[in-house]
Structure 1
Amino acid sequence: MTHGTHDYVDDPRNAAIQVWLNGELKPREQATVSVLDSGFVLGDGVWEGLRVVGGHPVFLDEHLDRLYEGARALLLNIGLTREALTDAIYQTLSSNQMQDGVHIRLMVTRGLKRTPYQDPRVCVGPATVVILPEYKTPLPATLETGLRLFTVHVRRGYPDVQDPKLNSHSKLNCITACIQAYTAGADEALMLDPHGFVATCNSTHFFIVRRGEVWTSSGEYCLGGITRSKVLTACRELGIPAFEKRFSLTDVYGADEAFVTGTFAGLVPVCAVDGRQLGSATPAGRAMIARLQQGYRDLVQRDVKQRGAA
């Protein structure tokens, strides 16, 4: 069994990486934060995952839009301009001589607290900012075989409980969903919205293909996924009918193909949902997935080219 789309090939070079921590580059084993950091105490922070291609973080502008929007919603002052944070990311890549096959975890917490208590006003310092790059490529077997999903009881909740659009460090509902899925023998969890319609997966976004159309959730109860949005863009450019809509598990079980999307692995086929095998269980049944994988790769290369020319 895989560990979902984030299963990766171990790379010994990661032992010697330099991590950017509050303006300093430190060896991995020395890049530590206090036990009184807001992220450790409460999961109080926001984060982004970035994939690096040709020395450039792909779709960086969209990722920073989401990061700063989430920070504003939480009244969290990152303490760095977008330009300064962008420079720090490139400085980190340069110090590690990284070009391709790299994934960055960009993390921002509210910073150090006087005491372990939830009130943000007991913070005594600036935000903690971490840029953690790793040599990381998806496990080939995951991309070849596809994922098995299991629909869990844990729902994506209403925005007045905890807004699913916030890419916060507080991921307990997704962790609980992940636990339920893997203990049921699946690779990842399929999560429903409060009305019983399909919402998203615990760490990726979910799509189905039915009669030449691509469907994904309404987006009301999931993170505003960057790769998700790029797949919808690829559909428009390729002339493929694509819809953000409510649909049920019955629609999923009768789908021709299904796949998930995420920054790390891109588009990954789904071979089965709740024990129902789909056409995308075999490479021969992935015609739409193959078109969209190429369309997504084209968008990535276009973004890298534009960023390199800037």
Structure 2
Amino acid sequence: MKYYDKNTLIYLDGAFVKASEAALNPFAQSLHYGYAVFDGLRAYNTHNGPRIFKADKHFDRLKKSCEAVNIPYRWSNRELIDKCYELLAINNLREAYIRPLVLTGSNMHLTSSTEANLMIAAWEWGPYLGQNLLRVCISDIKRPNPKSFKTDSKISGQYVNSILATTEAINRGFDEALMLDHEGFVAQASSENIFIEKDFKIYTPPAKNIFPGITRQTVKNICKKLNFEVVEKQLTVEDIYTADSAFLCGTAAEIIGIKQVDDVIYQEEWEHSIGASIQRRYKNLVLENENYEVII
């Protein structure tokens, strides 16, 4: 996929510049050590015009991620949100994925950075995992131990772990990987949270060993609105195999159902599942086809 052309503009350190002409610091810690922080947002083409879903929560998380790993954060989130809308306008985008990235400066020592640069890019991008039901496998690659890494922050270097898991899954003929935590319980997919349905209840792993996504919280809010019970508990692989249905969620992937995990095919029709009801409600929410403030 091509993410930009010769006319695409990005926001870089206070100015809009051509993506093709953006300079990269060859001595940046981000390049050598993966010492950077990012986030991902989606803009939707609503009847109110292009609207970025929960922009404030995403930029709050970007700031918190920087603070978690001692990267300076000197920007106003309100101003950055305004710049995102401006970026959409100058690139003629009404629906887009938006990627803010905080990069660190020149430093070959393994010490916290005192410099930081900010880039924001946007491009047209459909649901990350497509729209068909997924074939998922339990990965041999485990999530990092939260006592050794800030697993609740979006730190660039951490996503090598996700790349390895996803690549392994694809090489085995699946669409996505489901990863266990350091205790052997089901944690999440490579970059999405997981929910399962069992006996008309929804279950999801607790926040302690996963990345607690914004979409995950939105799903919980929707369930509350629709009177579906959500139980947070540590899930075993057997819990996943014996579920009635399951789905993944995330900003990039949105909400997408799972057809099978390893050799186990879910018997419940996706269209009749609680997950499908949540998926439909989520779509109405991001498109502002219902009372936005009621759920968020």
Q: Could you state the TM-score of these two structures normalised by the residue count of structure 1?
A: 0.85
Q: Which has the higher helix share?
A: 1
Return the match for 2:239 from 248, 251, 263.
251
Asked if structure 1 preserves the Cα contact closer than 8 Å seen for 2:3 and 2:123, the reply is no
Asked if structure 1 preserves the Cα contact closer than 8 Å seen for 2:68 and 2:150, the reply is no
Counterparts of 1:129-168 in structure 2 under 5 Å? 129-138=118-127, 142-144=130-132, 146-168=133-155
- The one-letter code sitting in structure 2 at the alignment partner of 1:293 is Q
- The one-letter code sitting in structure 2 at the alignment partner of 1:23 is G
Superposed displacement of residue 297, structure 1: 2.3
Asked if structure 2 preserves the Cα contact closer than 8 Å seen for 1:238 and 1:295, the reply is no
Q: Structure 2 unaligned segments of length 5 or more: list them.
A: none
Please name the residue that 2:163 is paired with. 175
Please name the residue that 1:6 is paired with. none
Return the match for 1:36 from 27, 34, 41.
27
- The one-letter code sitting in structure 2 at the alignment partner of 1:44 is Y
- What RMSD, in angstroms, separates the aligned Cα atoms of the two structures? 2.3
Stretch of structure 1 that moved more, 150-159 or 195-204: 150-159
Change (3 A) 1:142 1:97: closer
Please name the residue that 2:64 is paired with. 69
Please name the residue that 1:201 is paired with. 189
**1:275 and 2:245 aligned:** no
Structure 1 residues 11-53: Cα deviation after superposition (integer angstroms, max 9, x where no partner): 8975532111111212221123211122112111111111001
Asked if structure 2 preserves the Cα contact closer than 8 Å seen for 1:217 and 1:246, the reply is yes
Superposed displacement of residue 163, structure 1: 2.2
Number of positions where the alignment pairs a residue of Structure 1 with one of Structure 2: 288
Please name the residue that 2:283 is paired with. 297
Distance in 1 of aligned mates of 2:166 and 2:4: 29
Identity of aligned residues (%): 26
Distance in 1 of aligned mates of 2:222 and 2:76: 31
Distance in 1 of aligned mates of 2:258 and 2:22: 37
**1:25 and 2:26 aligned:** no
Distance in 1 of aligned mates of 2:291 and 2:5: 27
The alignment partner of 1:279 has SS state of coil
Please name the residue that 2:53 is paired with. 58
Superposed displacement of residue 70, structure 1: 1.0
Please name the residue that 1:109 is paired with. 103
